[in-house]
């Protein structure tokens, strides 16, 4: 945001609120967060009320500003000062706010940026997950008999990115932890019938099991966008 836009937004609390909604700091409500009813309206400054369940909620609900009272225009200015890397002490003077308040504002901005960049990096949509082993001449079973081999866990976003990680084992806990770190909740994850994938649904993913031998026998069904990368990672299956 440049200074001209900032000056326009700064002069009006309502414009500042709209601006914060535009950039995703404040949530856009399309239904009541309590009962899901779509009929609601603004009842008093910064509060909505559901016409069905009669409950009220703040326009700040679910945002990083939920527990803060800082006016929206001051928060917009704080964003600009943060962007310009102005130290907290100097920002206190500019904003006419206490050190603790500005420190907290800068912290919530940092957290928001971190969360946003983490979310952008997550795989999403339709995702395939599979584990395999590197090294060792012995052909071992999964988990057992694979002691001389290095377990590798790969996740592929269809028509998207591939993430591959060496893991300490292929136990359920390890694979679930890796999946949570790398895949957006709500995504549809395809795996084979390996038991370590049990529990994906409990963590907010959609889960479908496929039979690799049948599925990948049909080339049209294999959606690997980077077969060369994938095959070099896993030689026992066309995917990963």
**What is the contact surface with Zn ion in residues (CB under 5 A)?**
32, 34-35, 37, 50, 52-53
Token pair listed for 5: 């836009």
Identify which of residues 55 and 171 has a Cβ nearer to Zn ion in the complex. 55
Tokens 């700091």 found at: 25
Asked if 13 contacts 73 with a C-beta cutoff of 8 angstroms, the reply is yes
Alpha-carbon distance of 212 to 163, in angstroms, equals: 19
**Closer CB to Zn ion, 27 or 124, in the complex:** 27
Q: How many CB atoms lie within 10 A of CB 16?
A: 22
DSSP-derived 3-state class of residue 121: coil
CB-based burial of residue 3 (10 Å sphere; 0-12 exposed, 13-18 middle, 19+ buried)? exposed
> What are 11's two structure tokens?
């002069």
Classify 129 as helix, strand or coil. Answer: strand
Specify the residue, 43 or 150, whose C-beta has the smaller distance to Zn ion.
Answer: 43
User: Least Å distance between CB 41 and Zn ion?
Assistant: 12
Minimum Å gap between C-beta 103 and Zn ion is: 36
Min separation Cβ 56 and Zn ion, Å: 10
DSSP state of 30: S
Identity of the residue, 34 or 194, whose beta carbon is nearer to Zn ion in the bound complex: 34
Q: How far is the CB of 47 from Zn ion (least distance, A)?
A: 13
Strands (E), the chain: 40-44, 47-50, 56-58, 126-134, 150-157, 162-166, 188-191, 206-209
Closest distance to Zn ion from the beta carbon of 34 (Å): 5
Nearest distance from residue 53's CB to Zn ion, in Å?
A: 3
- Angle, alpha carbons 24-184-200 (nearest 5°): 145
- Which lies closer to Zn ion via its Cβ, residue 51 or residue 203? 51
Query: Could you tell me if 175 and 153 are in contact, meaning their C-beta atoms sit under 8 angstroms apart?
Result: yes
The kind and range of the H/E element at 182 are helix 172-182
Q: Which is nearer to Zn ion, 32 or 127 (CB)?
A: 32
């Amino acid at each position: 945001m440049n200074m001209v836009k900032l000056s326009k937004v700064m002069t009006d609390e309502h414009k500042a609120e709209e601006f914060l909604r535009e950039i995703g700091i404040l949530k856009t409500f399309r239904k009541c967060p309590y009962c899901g009813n779509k009929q609601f309206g603004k009842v008093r400054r910064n509060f909505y009320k559901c016409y069905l369940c009669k409950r009220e909620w703040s326009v700040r609900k679910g945002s990083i500003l939920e527990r803060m009272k800082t006016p929206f225009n001051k928060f917009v200015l704080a964003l600009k000062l943060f962007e310009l890397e102005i130290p907290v002490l100097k920002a206190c003077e500019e904003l006419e706010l206490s050190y603790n308040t500005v420190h907290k504002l800068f912290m919530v901005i940092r957290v928001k940026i971190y969360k946003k960049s983490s979310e952008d990096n997550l795989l999403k949509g339709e995702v395939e997950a599979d584990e395999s082993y590197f090294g060792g001449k012995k052909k071992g079973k999964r988990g057992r008999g694979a002691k001389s081999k290095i377990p590798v866990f790969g996740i592929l976003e269809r028509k998207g990115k591939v993430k591959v990680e060496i893991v300490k084992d292929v136990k359920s806990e390890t694979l679930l932890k890796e999946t949570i770190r790398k895949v957006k909740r709500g995504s549809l994850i395809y795996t084979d019938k390996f038991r370590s994938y049990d529990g994906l649904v409990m963590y907010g993913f959609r889960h479908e099991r496929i039979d690799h031998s049948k599925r990948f026998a049909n080339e049209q069904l294999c959606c690997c966008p980077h077969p060369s990368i994938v095959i070099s990672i896993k030689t026992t299956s066309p995917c990963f």
